[in-house]
Amino acid sequence: MAIEELMSGGKLMRVTRWGEDVMHRETAPVTEFDDELRELVRDMFATMRAARGVGLAATQVGRGISLFIYECPDADEKVHYGAICNPVVTTPTGKDRSLDKSEEGCLSFPGGYQPLARPDTATCTGQDPWGNEVTITGDGTLARCLQHETDHLNGIVFGDRLSSRSYRLLEQQKNDLAHLYPDDWPVTPKKVTADD
């Protein structure tokens, strides 16, 4: 079976919000690469797409396991996709390290975006949903996604990496739009506005 077979047919799940305990705890390693795990991957793809995201960590659907999915463009706009269990991210160091300060958002903090400097390339290693070793190297948005989702699995939300001023702005943006996002979003869709 290929990952493409897990990218359709899933059911929508509620996206967990910042402040809920699972979002701020380190996750447990995935040790069972079974049908239950693959069904979760399928449901996560359905949920991520409904929420119009490019990545989703298991913590964002209330599961405290080390797993994330992605369907995300690189710097050349080529879309990459997959599911990685037990990810470890490495980024360049020293003279090879270059930072990209771009806007970042999070499905678990809907409506808020703030610039955050992250390394512009990243390599992620782990296992696929069948337990096979995988490695992906990305640049552009993909590099940001690999770092962002792995942070989630370590109990870190991107707001933890912002200055207190930027975090306040992020929170204000989210609060201004909170009325558009039902508590069980995206199971219940975002409310449509004239801007949509």
149 is catalytic: yes
Contact (Cβ atoms closer than 8 angstroms) between residue 64 and residue 27: yes
The one-letter amino acid code at 191 reads: K
Q: What gap in Å lies between CA 155 and CA 141, rounded to an integer?
A: 21
AA letter at 112 = G
Q: What is the Cα gyration radius of the chain?
A: 16
Rounded Cα distance between 172 and 168, Å, is 6
Distance of CA 133 to the CA centre of its chain: 20
User: Which of 4, 32, 133, 149 does the annotation list as catalytic?
Assistant: 149
Among 160, 159, 187, residue whose Cα is nearest residue 15: 187
ω into 186 cis (within 30 of 0): yes
Active-site amino acid positions:
149
